[in-house]
Amino acid sequence: MEPVLAELDSVSKSYAGVPVLKRVNFSVRAGEIHALLGGNGAGKSTLMKILAGLVQASGGEVRIANAPLEPATPAQALAMGLYLVPQEAHIFPNQSVLENICIGLPKPSAAYRARVEELIAQIGVPLSPDTKAATLEIADRQIVEILRGLIREAKVLILDEPTSALTPHEVQTLFARMQALRAAGHGLVFISHKLHELRAVCDRITVLRDGNVVLSAGMDQSTDADILTAMSPGVTELEARGAGKQISRGVVLSLDALSGEGFVDISFEVRRGEVLGLTGVVGAGRTELAETLVGLRPRGSGDVILEGQAFLANSPSDAVRQGIVHLSEDRQQYGLFLAAPLFWNASSFVHDRLPFFLRPNAERKRFAQYRDMLGIKCASPDQPAGSLSGGNQQKVLLAKCLAAEPKLLILDEPTRGVDVGARNDIYRIIEELAAQGTSVLLISSDFDEVVRLSDRITVMAGGHVAGELPAGATPDEISQLAFEAQEAEHV
């Protein structure tokens, strides 16, 4: 048996008397990749933050290389050879990519430039070490965070959902790096909601539910059904959506040769009650297109027709008034008001429809309807939004969008970083909305998700429409279309 590199010994944690972790044991050995799985609120992130010294345990002991983590600070954990790549990238916006990666290392950043460039080339992303971090897209920020972990060559490397913003190709190269580290005797913890990813690289699996370890076994010895049952008893499998229904209803939105920042000559239609999947690899121009539609970016040539009338929005709130609501992928910037009560958040898109003297009880009631419809788990409508878990926050964002009663709902990566249970709920909500006649433009890099939900699929690559596929297309077909067009672009 290989030596244990890091260990949590019956660790407990409670916040304000509410237990989050109950005497959890967890260990990482040299030369293994350990999968950690669990629904939102299961305690995975807290567990890893305790291991990394970011959160203090209420009981139990944390040991790294057989020595207790003392004092329990990130600096000490780093010194003892452990690094946590967090789920949300922590970026210094005013520093270069190189500084972002190398800050805190013992030598000046210039000393690591060659190594950073080598890693960037290996992963195969177009990222320059001298770019100012403020200009990076979400996916690139995630890559910077992963590079931080790789360059530190920590003996124990924890990756909290590192693949959520990566393209399939980048995921493969990340896996290759992880396997190389494992071969070199490092121990890794890999947190992901995607079972097939965990299967591809992990040796052992631990499943958490409600702060308890409910499954701990070799990866080979557990079937998908075992793992899903352990995670959330009752949910056995992601239900597939009925085959793409024939839609012959009227056109809600049509784009005619629209151009703007990052995309050229885009034409497509969205019909009433239809889910149009808009997919492609990162950098295809999908997010830019959505942001242009709602007035976040300047629009170039081309026409947009909404229900027979020319549509032009100067700002997202202007777009809301005209019937297009946009849920941004950048939840940190365009997300919730974290300190405000849930019901404020739910009506924040429609503040201009509220009476001059607010009627909080009416708002609370309205929120309660959405809470029941979307299955938001919360104690009270007056709770601050920041106190909810990620999946529940995403549902509150959906509530805020629905409150605006959109004709067209644009969802940009609606399930990124959301666990299986909440993801299923969000899928169900999207289907119900479509059935009720709302049109949905679903932007997603998760080809499986696009296939599951979409009535039609438009694939973008390099700012162009690479092709359109009917419902029932396979993820492989999408992938082929998205990457072929990209290759052609690069030659």
Partner 1 sequence: MFERIARDRVATLFLVTVAVLLLVGLAAPGFLSAGTATIIWSNGLVLMLVALGIFPVILTRNIDVSGGSILGLSAVVLGLALNDGFALPLALGFALGAGICAGVVNGLLVAGLGVPSIVATLGTLGLFRGVMLIATGGEWIEELPEALKSLGAKSYGGLSIMGIITALVIVAVWWFLRSRRGRWVMVTGDNREAAHHLGLPVRRIELLAFAWAGAMYALAGITFAAQIGFVPNQAGSGIELRAIAALVLGGISLLGGVGSVGGVVIGVIFFTSIDTSLVFLKIPAYWNDLIGGAMLLGVLLIDGRLRIALEARDRAARYRRGSNTEQKSQPLEDAA
Residue (107 or 196) nearer to partner 1, CB:
107
In angstroms, give the least distance from the CB of 489 to partner 1. Answer: 6
Please report where in the chains the tokens 């600096």 appear, as a residue: 75
In angstroms, give the least distance from the CB of 104 to partner 1. Answer: 4
Residue (64 or 275) nearer to partner 1, CB:
64
In angstroms, give the least distance from the CB of 457 to partner 1. Answer: 21
Residue (135 or 221) nearer to partner 1, CB:
135
Longest dimension (CA), the chain: 69
Strand partners for 19: 14
Distance, CA of 318 to CA of 312 (rounded, Å)? 9
CB-based contact 287:443 (threshold 8 Å): yes
Helix (H) or strand (E) holding 482: helix 475-490
Residue (88 or 307) nearer to partner 1, CB:
88
The answer to whether the Cα torsion of 410, 412, 418, 424 is positive or negative is positive
- Listed in sequence order, the residues at least 6 apart from 168 whose beta carbon sits closer than 8 Å to its beta carbon are 281, 447, 479
In angstroms, give the least distance from the CB of 338 to partner 1. Answer: 14
Distance, CA of 70 to CA of 62 (rounded, Å)? 9
Residue (273 or 463) nearer to partner 1, CB:
463
Residue (220 or 487) nearer to partner 1, CB:
487
| Other CB atoms within 10 Å distance of the CB of residue 25 | 13
Residue (135 or 248) nearer to partner 1, CB:
135
- Listed in sequence order, the residues at least 6 apart from 394 whose beta carbon sits closer than 8 Å to its beta carbon are 331, 414, 415, 418, 422, 426
In angstroms, give the least distance from the CB of 354 to partner 1. Answer: 31
CB-based contact 90:31 (threshold 8 Å): no
Distance, CA of 96 to CA of 188 (rounded, Å)? 28
Helices 138-152 and 168-183 cross at an angle (nearest 10°) of 10
In angstroms, give the least distance from the CB of 12 to partner 1. Answer: 23
Site residues for partner 1 per CB under 8 A? 54, 73-75, 77-79, 84, 86, 90-95, 99, 103-104, 107-109, 148, 260-264, 283, 285, 288, 298, 462-463, 489
Please report where in the chains the tokens 């429409």 appear, as a residue: 465
In angstroms, give the least distance from the CB of 70 to partner 1. Answer: 15
Residue (105 or 305) nearer to partner 1, CB:
105
What Rg value do the Cα atoms of the chain yield, rounded? 23
Residue (142 or 347) nearer to partner 1, CB:
142
In angstroms, give the least distance from the CB of 79 to partner 1. Answer: 7
First to last CA, the chain: 49
Which two three-digit tokens encode residue 31? 């030369």
In angstroms, give the least distance from the CB of 92 to partner 1. Answer: 4
Burial 337-369 (b: 16+ CB within 10 A, else e): eeeebbbbbbbbbbeeeeeeeeeeeebbebbbe
Residue (315 or 361) nearer to partner 1, CB:
315
Residue (100 or 254) nearer to partner 1, CB:
100
Looking at this protein, which amino acid is placed at residue 51?
A: L
In angstroms, give the least distance from the CB of 16 to partner 1. Answer: 18
Which of 181, 188, 185, 143 shows the shortest CA–CA distance to 164? 143
Burial of 109 (0-12, 13-18, 19+ CB in 10 A): middle
Residue (167 or 438) nearer to partner 1, CB:
167
The reply to whether omega before 71 is within 30° of 0 (cis) is yes
In angstroms, give the least distance from the CB of 46 to partner 1. Answer: 15
Please report where in the chains the tokens 């005013």 appear, as a residue: 94
CB-based contact 53:76 (threshold 8 Å): yes
In angstroms, give the least distance from the CB of 480 to partner 1. Answer: 20
